[in-house]
Structure 1
Amino acid sequence: MTLRTDDELERALSALAEAEGTSRQEIVRRAVLERYERSGHVARVEESSRRLAEKWGDVLHRLGDA
């Protein structure tokens, strides 16, 4: 895989790699995996919220009117 970068990304990658004592490739790898995990988490939270709103929506609405 080829990753095209600009000057800003080059500086950021170099700074992070040096600060963490790892390769620039590892920085990119971690960033992609973190983003992937976070997107799955967001989907799970949204689904859970939807189910809870369906189950407890009437109670929440009454509490809001109190």
Structure 2
Amino acid sequence: MAMTLRLSDGETEALRNYAEESGRSMQDVAREAIRDYIGERTKRRAEILARIVGEDTELLDLLSK
């Protein structure tokens, strides 16, 4: 799926510099950053939900009735 990503001049420059330093395309760097961000957010959400379920088991049980 094609998409347009609008970046500020500073963001574009930072992305360009990083891509050049790592020998990769700007697109590859941006796609990896998105995958990493989503993966980290998903992991954090799962950890938080597991903690809530563990700490509030009784409350969640009452709410489910």
Distance 1:17 1:35 in 2: 17
Q: 1:25 Cα deviation (Å)?
A: 0.2
Q: Letter of the 2:38 partner, please give it.
A: Y
Q: 1:20 aligns with which of 12, 19, 22?
A: 22
CA deviations 1:2-58 (Å, max 9, x no partner) are 111221011111111011110000111011111110111011111111122136xxx
Structure 1 spans left out of the alignment, 5+ residues: 56-66
Distance 1:42 1:48 in 2: 10
TM-score by length of 2: 0.74
Higher share in helix: 1
Structure 1 partner of 2:38 = 36
Structure 1 partner of 2:60 = none
TM-score by length of 1: 0.73
Structure 1 partner of 2:9 = 7
Structure 2 partner of 1:64 = none
Figure out how many residues of one structure are paired with residues of the other and give that number: 55
